[in-house]
Amino acid sequence: MSNSTKRCLVLLEKCNNINHLKQAHAQIFTTGLENNTFALSRVLAFCSSHKHHHGSLTYACRVFERIQNPTVCIYNTIIKAFLININFKSTLLVFVKMLRNGMRPDNYTIPYVLKSCAGLQDCSLAKMIHGYGSKLGLVFDIFVGNSLMMMYCVFGDVVAARYVFDEIPSLSAVSWSVMISGYAKVGDVDSARLFFDEAPEKDKGIWGAMISGYVQNSCFKESLYLFRLMQLTDIVPDESIFVSILSACAHLGASDIGVWIHRHLNQSKLVPFSVQLSTSLLDMYAKCGDLETTKRVFNSMQERDIVCWNAMISGMAMHGDGKGALKLFYDMEKVGMKPDDITFIAVFTACSYSGMEHEGLKLLDKMCSVHNIEPKSEHYGCLVDLLSRAGLFEEAMVMIRKTTNSLNGSEEALAWRAFLSACCNHGETQLAELAAEKVLQLDKHSHSGVYVLLSNLYSASGKHSDARRVRDIMKTKGANKIPGCSSVEIDGVVCEFVAGEKTHHQMDKIHSFEENAYPVRLQSIEIHGLTLSCFY
């Protein structure tokens, strides 16, 4: 390799923007490297990075079209460039061109094409690629096999993914992680846990896949337990694991664990506070009732995305600070952050909880006319709740009837259910009966909650015979009330109690504690090795 060639290649490696690339490309021509496949592949590789100027992909296409005899490496590089820039159709077109020119794809080509099929949600085409890869003998390659499993898991076909898993002669940790995530995605956490337990070596990805799978399927206590098991190993949690655990803490109200994670992150400095991690922290604090710390986390963030703003507005809303939520919304607009449909759900909820029905209706108009966001069933449900809470039942019914044509049955039922709840809270028996009838007509699976609301309304109104009649209907139709559940966190351990529970192994102690609660004195019971003391 001549010195001029070396200098040219070094210049290519030092490029950091599209103008530098063009200068380096010019040097390629002046040094006679215009047909050097390695040099041209470096030009295309630069363009494949999404971090660079948007025009680099167009430049890459022009370079590629001028290459007389592109190699497999050249094809793979331009295919990757389209894939990274989310241009899935062009990825497939280049792949077809590659086949027509008699080129044989390798174990890099097939994974790129499979990701494009997944991006296009084209399962049939992906299966054709799978068949073609089988003819070439590539499906036994670990990279191709893992890509096939990922693709099938995207489409929810874990049976096909398991078939590929069983065919790979030498599995990697990624293979196990993909299967765990795939089963978790379809809600089969038991199978996911079996794969986790059978994994010969558990790396960070495998632990994270199982913890995330538990959280996705609302198995929050299980995720915390697994996190504690992981802490007994040498595995250091990464950002995604912390995000999953913070989500579990938020749903369980396990603030002690969330606070420990926050302190650990501050002290260890091993994981930087990204936007996603900081958003998970503030969401955890908000749902655990610590609004002041939520605000401190939000104010300390150097960068915020729409998810972060939405989480903060929702936090203000759930704490009843409607004015604060609206101020945040207008601050978000001032900094140039465009609200999305979730933002308006949070804002409408804030207005509903704070009795600001007029502000809510103004924001509805702004959502449609200024931000061009078409209201969804969730928005209408919030607005019906907003009007109903304010006692504007006629206006709420008008809104429901206006939107009937644009909503399906379950979406309309959601609006009527919000109306029913408000009617029960205001003691509007006749309107509640009307709303209950509508809900039962539109959603046959919601009868349990409807009957409970009506029964409570009748009891509160002194109509005990009607309340008994509703309860009799519940028994006849087998509509059982979901038992209430409460939990208490002691030293980081969440103890859960269900109304009417008889299976708790310390139930005798709990009942004894309740029976001897009076007169006022200090009582203690031991639960899971922890002592809980209460004054009565």
Q: Could you report the per-residue pLDDT of 84-123, keeping only the tens digit for each?
A: 888 899 999 999 999 999 899 999 999 999 999 999 999 9
Indicate whether 409 belongs to any domain: no
Q: Say if CB 304 and CB 274 are below 8 A apart.
A: no
pLDDT of residue 23: 65
Residues 6+ positions from 154 with CB-CB distance below 8 Å: 118
What is the distance between the alpha carbons of residues 501 and 244, in angstroms, rounded to a whole number?
A: 29
Count of beta carbons in the 10 Å neighbourhood of residue 188? 15
Residue 357 has pLDDT above 60, yes or no: yes
pLDDT higher at 476 or 469: 469
In a domain, 526, yes or no: yes
User: In angstroms, how far is CA 11 from the centroid of its own chain?
Assistant: 42
Is 392 part of a structural domain of the chain? no
By CB neighbour count within 10 A (0-12 exposed, 13-18 middle, 19+ buried), where does 509 fall? middle
Q: How far apart are CA 441 and CA 162, in angstroms?
A: 42
Lowest mean pLDDT among 135-139, 263-267, 288-292, 505-509: 505-509
Residue 309: its pLDDT value, please?
96
Please list, residue by residue across 410-425, b when 16 or more beta carbons sit within 10 angstroms of its beta carbon and e when fewer do: ebbbbbbbbbbbbbbe
Q: What is the pLDDT of residue 482?
A: 55
Question: 524 in a domain, yes or no?
Answer: yes
Please state which of the ranges 2-16, 31-45, 170-184, 420-434 shows the lowest mean pLDDT. 2-16
**pLDDT over 90 at 227, yes or no:** yes
Containing structural domain, residue 513 = 485-535
- Looking at per-residue confidence, does 79 or 425 come out higher? 79
User: Is 89 within the bounds of a domain?
Assistant: no
Q: What is the pLDDT of residue 457?
A: 75
The answer as to whether 510 is a domain residue is yes
Evaluate whether 77 touches 41 at the Cβ level (below 8 Å). yes
Total of domains in the chain: 1
Asked if residue 292 belongs to a domain, the reply is no
Instruction: Pick the range with the lowest mean pLDDT from 213-222, 359-368, 514-523.
Output: 514-523
Q: Which residue has the tokens 């986390």?
A: 297
Q: Give percent helix, percent strand, percent coil of the chain, each to the nearest 5.
A: 70, 5, 25
**Mean local confidence (pLDDT), 226-244:** 94
Q: Is the pLDDT of residue 295 over 70?
A: yes
Token look-up 């208490």 returns 488
> Mean pLDDT over all residues of the chain?
82
Q: Calculate mean pLDDT across residues 373-402.
A: 83
In a domain? residue 516: yes
Bridge partners (DSSP) listed for residue 534: 523
